[in-house]
A = this chain, B = another copy of it.
Amino acid sequence: MRIKKGVNIFTSLVTAGVFVAIAPGSALAANDEPLTGGWAPSEWGADDMAGSVNTTTPRMVVKAARLVKRGKVATLGKIYAQDAPAFGSRGWRMTIPGLPTGGPFGNQELVYNDEYLSTEIGQIGTQFDGPGHIGVRTSKGDFFYNGRYLTDAGVSAYGMGPLGVEHVAKIGFVCRGVLLDAVALRGGQLPIPVEASPSDPGIITAEDVKTMIRKQGIAPIGEGDCVFLYTGHGNIWHPTNWDSYDAAEKTRRVAEFNSGEPGFGISACEYLASRKIILWGADTWASEAVGPGFAGETSQPFECHIKLMTKRGIWNLENMDLSQLVADKAYEFLFAWSPLKIKGGTGSPGNPVAMY
């Protein structure tokens, strides 16, 4: 199946019958692989609520800090704004109450402004997916990281309880950041995949990962690393000149950006997991290949999400701005960042700092 450029991936896949939202009471057999496949307890114990971020040792931290040589700093987050792309029904609304919001106070006549924001704070723009974001419907209920369920005590309409992102955020990510420059590998911006075979240029395989590491001349991916993929797809929603587009062009670009994405295929994700990385990310909205074909390297929608996060607790950072790292050929760097401690949040916004 091929989908047209600029058509929303969800509209297409729903039409094609792939993304059927199945009601809980439906006849479809639940996916019990999490139960039979030994997904829980995780390697950090049945009580763990943080996942791969536990991997980091003081030695890794000291070693990563030594990557700061040039004294350069890059901020890896994108702009949060109402006209930025958002998945599905999500949105971003911000206003300034009062302008100024308060004052003047005292003889110095201080005035101040706040901003009032309504949004899916952990799931819009540059976003970190935490333990409560992705699960699998099983016959025992909706299964999340480390065998927790949406029916567990503490999970409610007001927060994810033991699946909240704050449990990850208390620890934080300090790691060797690795940039994989797939645009250099492919000789240009990667296309949205049109099939699910490993030869589709929009899909990055395990072999592609190894090839990039070799060509970029850096040490192999190892335990505790944070690995980020540059596909060029993020430039459709470009971080620097977005405001130069008119409304129609913005609308067109948002639609194209959302219509699918190049990215890691299953073999790459399994390889990254085997190397014991602690964070993966990309300049795309899902960090993995999303296209119409679901076989081989993308056998199901968001399969890397499930295999890395729900199964292994290796969280994900989406919609990163990797452009400065690419321009500087900063292929490895000190990455230091933590999600916000949002009690019961499913994820977090972010603007991580890279130093090299």
Interface residues of A (CB under 8 A from B): 11, 18-25, 28, 30-31, 33, 56-62, 65-66, 68-75, 77-82, 88-91, 93-123, 126, 132-138, 140-142, 149-153, 155-160, 166, 169-174, 247, 294, 300-303, 305-306, 334, 336-347, 349-353, 355
Please name all residues of chain B whose beta carbon is closer than 8 Å to the beta carbon of A347 when the two chains form the complex.
115
A75→B142 contact, CB < 8 A: no
Sorted nearest first, the 10 A-B pairs with minimum C-beta distance are A58-B71, A98-B157, A95-B97, A65-B68, A97-B157, A118-B118, A109-B137, A81-B343, A61-B71, A117-B121
B96→A355 contact, CB < 8 A: no
Please name all residues of chain B whose beta carbon is closer than 8 Å to the beta carbon of A123 when the two chains form the complex.
114-115
Please name all residues of chain B whose beta carbon is closer than 8 Å to the beta carbon of A77 when the two chains form the complex.
169, 338, 340-341
Set B96, B110, B152: member contacting A23, Cβ < 8 A: B152
Set B68, B119, B134: member contacting A110, Cβ < 8 A: B134
Please name all residues of chain B whose beta carbon is closer than 8 Å to the beta carbon of A137 when the two chains form the complex.
103-104, 109-111
Please name all residues of chain B whose beta carbon is closer than 8 Å to the beta carbon of A118 when the two chains form the complex.
93, 116-118
B119→A136 contact, CB < 8 A: no
CB distance from A72 to the nearest CB of B (A): 6
The complex places the Cα of A228 from the Cα of B61 at a distance, in Å, of: 23
Q: Which residue of chain B lies nearest to A100 when distances are taken between CB atoms in the complex? A: B142
B104→A172 contact, CB < 8 A: no
Set B58, B100, B122: member contacting A70, Cβ < 8 A: B58
A351→B355 contact, CB < 8 A: no
Please name all residues of chain B whose beta carbon is closer than 8 Å to the beta carbon of A11 when the two chains form the complex.
247
Residues A119 and B120 in contact in the complex (CB < 8 Å), given A30-B109, A158-B95: no
25 pairs, A vs B, C-beta closer than 8 Å: A21-B104, A23-B152, A23-B153, A25-B151, A56-B73, A61-B355, A62-B71, A75-B171, A77-B340, A82-B158, A93-B116, A94-B343, A95-B158, A96-B156, A97-B157, A98-B99, A106-B301, A108-B300, A108-B301, A110-B302, A113-B133, A113-B135, A114-B157, A114-B346, A117-B118
Q: Which residue of chain B lies nearest to A84 when distances are taken between CB atoms in the complex? A: B343
CB distance from A186 to the nearest CB of B (A): 27
Please name all residues of chain B whose beta carbon is closer than 8 Å to the beta carbon of A112 when the two chains form the complex.
133-135, 346
B338→A75 contact, CB < 8 A: yes
Set B75, B174, B339: member contacting A172, Cβ < 8 A: B75
Please name all residues of chain B whose beta carbon is closer than 8 Å to the beta carbon of A349 when the two chains form the complex.
340, 349
B96→A25 contact, CB < 8 A: no
The complex places the Cα of A59 from the Cα of B166 at a distance, in Å, of: 34
Please name all residues of chain B whose beta carbon is closer than 8 Å to the beta carbon of A294 when the two chains form the complex.
106
The complex places the Cα of A95 from the Cα of B89 at a distance, in Å, of: 10
A79→B341 contact, CB < 8 A: yes
Residues A95 and B157 in contact in the complex (CB < 8 Å), given A110-B301, A117-B120, A137-B103: yes
Given contact pairs A28-B109, A97-B116, enumerate 6 new A-B contacts (beta carbons under 8 Å): A80-B343, A99-B99, A116-B116, A172-B353, A337-B353, A341-B351
B301→A150 contact, CB < 8 A: no
Q: Which residue of chain B lies nearest to A152 when distances are taken between CB atoms in the complex? A: B23
The complex places the Cα of A28 from the Cα of B113 at a distance, in Å, of: 21
The complex places the Cα of A132 from the Cα of B126 at a distance, in Å, of: 23
